Structure 1
């Protein structure tokens, strides 16, 4: 599917995507240590994620303008290195307000500067028939990197005693990895295909600016953005499967970190290729794949609500949550692929990705806090059942929006065919 040079770029993009979010996603492997050593409640951890998302949302709006204009190699490298430096500060164990400040800056370094540019770089490696596979295998690669780095951090945590010192060492490990990858990416991508491509398009860009207005007026792009919104609102709930198993099933503390890594990272390796290949080869449409998996998500969430969790084995509980998580990760693998499916022009791809991210990741502004406060306000199984119910509501919204998206893409293709004829 890709040339040797494009595989090199793809591998670097995977490395970037798999390392930059380790610090902002510290909760995935260190949820309990964060509560203990940062002295945070479920709601306060949710607040940090929500502050991060507020800054991220503003950043995505700004990146609609510059994501098609700045050199990708520079923005991705700077974002990685700056994220690592923020992690060094985080290792000093700042107070609650310091933590909010760091997570706010993560919204700038990881999302505004990096994510839309990273997505555009992946999308441009293939044509519209390859988008599902590209993003699917990109998620798989991220899952591999995520898992290796996260389990290594847990190893560092255990090596230094599994307490305060181990937690601090784990944070510094994540920080050093981000800085090293940023430096590697900056030099490895210099003079590569991307630079030659930018040089060739320099004159063209002077005469033809990215059509921001056209993107904002494109109904299909907005539908894609809101379908991502629904997927991400459901995805936010996966974080709370960790305390769910710990509180309701009494999952041993030794398994909590390992489960968090499997839940957030290993599932990418499963969900990425499955989602991408089914979307491209079976359904021939990422938007149709989202429609069907939203239906499956609603069914699985209803099952999770009515199951007698108090009388079930912890391992059965883990399997049930992981099966649902796998479905969500197949959606995450392809939820930006409809941009390629819809035939958005190359000069507008970055703006479309930024708009999709601006709307799509907005649930993190309120979902983490909302879910966290529900769990604090309704201790025990009831709180989790309410959260699962809200996730099901977002999935139902996704069914409606993805159905409209399928119709919109079909109409766009018919209109293009008539014009060409």
Structure 2
């Protein structure tokens, strides 16, 4: 599918996507050390994540203005290096306000400066028939890099005794990797980037026309953004499958870690290429893939609500939740691919990705709290059934939005074909 040159770029983009979020996601591998050595409560860690989500959302909006105006290798490299430098400061074990400050800045370096530009770079590697596979294999590559780096950090943590020094070494390892990838990407992409060759006049015209104005007037971009919103609102609910299995099925502690690894890493690695290949090769449309998988998700959530969980084995419960999680991860792998399918002009792709991220990731600001509050207010199985019901509502909303998206893309193609005749 890709030339050797494009495979080089793709590999660099996978490294970028798989390393930049390790520090903001420090809690995934070092939740207990964060509490102990940063002297944080559960609520304070949650506050840091909320501050990060708020800054991220604002940053995605601001990124609409800059994502198509700055050189891609520059913004990605600077964001990686800046994230690594923040990690070095984090290794000094700052106080609570320092933690909030760092996580707020992670929203700038990782999301505002990096993510929309990274998505644009992936999209530009292929035409509109290859978007599903590109994003699917990109997500798989990220999962592999995530796994290797996370387990390497845990190994370093254990090597240094599993205490204060180990935690500090783990943070410095994440920081060094981010800085290293940033430096490599800056120099390696200088000769590999697919930046369009143009004159100074055309570049000025490109800058003038790109960005917010055309993107905000594009109905297709809004539909893509809200379809991402629905996928992410459902995805947020996957976090509560572990307490669901623990509370309702009495999941043994020994299985919690194994389930978490499968749920967060294996499903990402497997779901990416499956979703991408089906979207491109079978349906030949990422938007159609989202439409059908939203239907499947809604049906599976209704089944999860109606199943006699108290009379089922824990292994059957694990299989049911993992099957549903697999469907969601295939959606996550391709939910930005419709931007390429819709034929959004190259000069506006970054702005479209930024708007899609701004709206699409917004559920992170409220869904975790909403679902958690429901579970606290409704102990036992009933609370989880209400959460599954809300997730099903978001899935049904996704069916409607992705259905409109399919019609809009088809209409746009017809108009473009008529214009070329």
Higher mean C-alpha deviation, range 284-293 or range 25-34: 25-34
Structure 1 residues 382-391 or 86-95, which shifts more?
Answer: 86-95
1:143-154 matched pairs, under 5 angstroms: 143-154=143-154
Q: Which moved more, 1:7-16 or 1:235-244?
A: 235-244
Tell me: CA distance 1:407–1:106, structure 2 relative to 1, closer, same or farther (3 Å): same
Q: 1:406 aligns to what? A: 406
Deviations 1:335-384 (A, max 9, x none): 11111111111111111111111111111111222233334444444433
Structure 1 range deviating more: 364-373 or 63-72: 364-373
Match of 2:271? 271
SS in 2 for 1:193: coil
User: In terms of mean alpha carbon deviation, does 262-271 or 365-374 score higher?
Assistant: 365-374
Aligned residues: 419
Q: Which runs of 5+ in 2 are unaligned?
A: none
Aligned to 1:225: 225
- Alignment correspondent of 2:244: 244
CA distance in 1, matches of 2:112, 2:343: 24
Take 2:80 and 2:108, find their aligned partners in 1: how far apart are those partners?
11
- Separation in 1, partners of 2:303, 2:96: 37
Q: Does the 8 Å CA contact 2:291/2:403 hold for their aligned counterparts? A: yes
Aligned counterpart, 2:209 = 210
- The CA deviation at 1:390 is 1.9
Counterpart mapping for 1:68-83 below 5 A:
68-83=68-83
Q: CA deviation at 1:305?
A: 2.8
Instruction: Give the match for residue 418 of structure 2.
Output: 418
Aligned partners of 1:298 and 1:336: how far apart in 2? 21
User: Does structure 2 conserve the Cα–Cα contact (< 8 Å) formed by 1:50 and 1:367?
Assistant: no
Structure 1 Cα separation of the partners of residues 356 and 46 of structure 2: 23
**What is the CA distance between 1:292 and its match in structure 2?**
0.7
Deviation at 1:237, TM superposition (A): 1.9
**What SS class does the counterpart of residue 125 from structure 1 fall into?**
coil
- Would you say the 8 A contact 1:43–1:369 is kept in 2? no
Q: Tell me by how many angstroms 1:192 deviates.
A: 2.6
Considering only aligned residues, what root-mean-square deviation do their CA atoms show, in Å? Answer: 2.4
Alignment of 1:190-205 (within 5 A): 190-194=190-194, 197-200=195-198, 202-205=200-203
Secondary structure at the aligned position of 1:267 is classed as: helix
Q: Give, in whole Å, the separation in 1 of the partners of 2:321 and 2:199.
A: 47
Verify: 1:176 aligned to 2:176, yes or no: yes
For residue 18 of structure 1, report the CA deviation from its aligned partner.
0.9
Which string of whole-angstrom CA distances, capped at 9 and with x for unpartnered residues, describes residues 43-65 of structure 1? 55444333212111111111111
CA distance in 2 between counterparts of 1:33 and 1:311 reads: 37
1:264-312 residue CA offsets vs partner (Å, 9 max, x unmatched) = 2221211111111111111111101001111111122223333344454
Question: 2:53: which partner in 1?
Answer: 53
TM-score normalized with structure 1 length: 0.91
| Distance (Å, rounded) in 1 between the aligned partners of 2:169 and 2:257 | 15
SS at match of 1:23: coil
**Counterpart for residue 319 of structure 1:** 319
